[in-house]
Amino acid sequence: MAWDGVIVSDSGGFQVLSLIRKQGKTGAIRSNGVTFQESPTAKKIVLTPEKVIEWQFGLRSDVVVALDDCTGPEDSPAEQLASTERTIRWFRQARKAYDLQCRQRRSGEPPLLVGVVQGGTDPELRQRCVDALVESGAQGFGFGSWPLSAEGELEREMFALLSRITPPDAPLFALGVGRPEHLVSLCELDMRWVFDCTIPTRDARHGRLYSFVPEIADRLLTPDRSFYQNVYILDEENSRKDEPICATCDCPTCRRYSRSYLHHLFRVKDGLADRLATLHNLRFYTRLLEMIRAGRMARPGLGEPARVG
Ligand SMILES: [Zn+2]
């Protein structure tokens, strides 16, 4: 990849389990891992706690995630319990594989090992999972299960719980989060959250681009959508606009190209459209985090918030 930045990988468990559970793809969750087949003629893939650690060491990741059994918020308490117990057991196996890999393959700094916290909406089960992961040597903690409610709202209370019950210096991994307003919401809770989501790049490829509202310089970030707008670049109104996607953006796309040119690239399905749009959406996210770090957030419950940064 010729990438000298930080590499973060995931176990692949969430993707496979959601294909099995939600899309009815062939596969099964067994006591020692997950089997998966994309189609009847495709090769069978077997994910075990040991293998996914080995693969992530092969990628030379700086952050590796142990295999977990991911449930959804709609699953029964019995399923949540079984998933939590399986996740704990798999983590112990993953930790042994991690120690072995550290001895065999790596020189220098070993990667950070993240355990995923399951337990659905049951605080006691979540606590039990955290305790077991800590005892087994987890160095970071991922948010297990689907992060949004059926209405698309962030499961903020469960994230707040994880912030409270995990060791205070451990990084927290908000797997599958998220939308710009969700990043603001979680950073309000705790600055330890790390984000990982397909939304900015997938939206870019579908021509949905983000633009800070023009008055952002006078506004604070809030956990709603008032600080940005979606620009649907294929909308007819963008076919003649000479302005960039976002007036204040310093990304290579906004510095050089107009909305009308991007509109044209999307319309003729030029591959450059995806790349320019992706560059912009990713820069929108890094600018958002720069603003968050500079203390531009409105803190709830404080009345008229003071402006910082
Ligand atoms: Zn831009």
pLDDT in tens, 82-114: 999 999 999 999 999 999 999 987 677 899 999
Q: Which of 62, 75, 196, 274 is catalytic?
A: 196
Q: In whole angstroms, how far apart are CA 233 and each of 62, 151, 214, 248, 273?
A: 36, 26, 18, 17, 10
Q: How many CB atoms neighbour CB 298 within 10 A?
A: 19
pLDDT in tens, 226-250: 899 999 999 999 999 999 999 999 9
pLDDT band at 161 (very low <50, low <70, confident <90, very high): very high
Q: What mean pLDDT is reported for the chain?
A: 90
Q: How far is the CA of 230 from the centre of ligand 1 (A)?
A: 13
- Output the CA 159–ligand 1 centroid distance in Å: 30
Predicted model pTM = 0.88
Split at pLDDT 50, 70, 90, the class of 299 is: low
CB neighbour list of residue 109: distance below 8 Å, 6 or more residues apart? 62
Domain 13-197: CATH superfamily is Queuine tRNA-ribosyltransferase-like (3.20.20.105)
235: annotated active-site residue: no
Catalytic residue, candidates 10, 68, 69, 203:
10
Which of 27-36, 131-140, 226-235, 236-245 has the lowest average pLDDT?
A: 27-36
* CA–CA separation, 40 and 194 (whole Å): 37
Tell me the two tokens of residue 291: 């603003």
For ligand 1, the distance from its centroid to the CA atom of residue 246, given in whole angstroms, is 6
**How far, in Å, CA of 20 to CA of 63, rounded?**
26
Compute the distance from residue 136 Cα to the ligand 1 centre, in Å: 44
Q: Is 10 a catalytic residue?
A: yes
What is the rounded average pLDDT of the residues 173-187?
Answer: 93
Domains of the chain, residue spans: 13-197, 202-293
Closest CA to 167 of 122, 134, 137, 129: 134
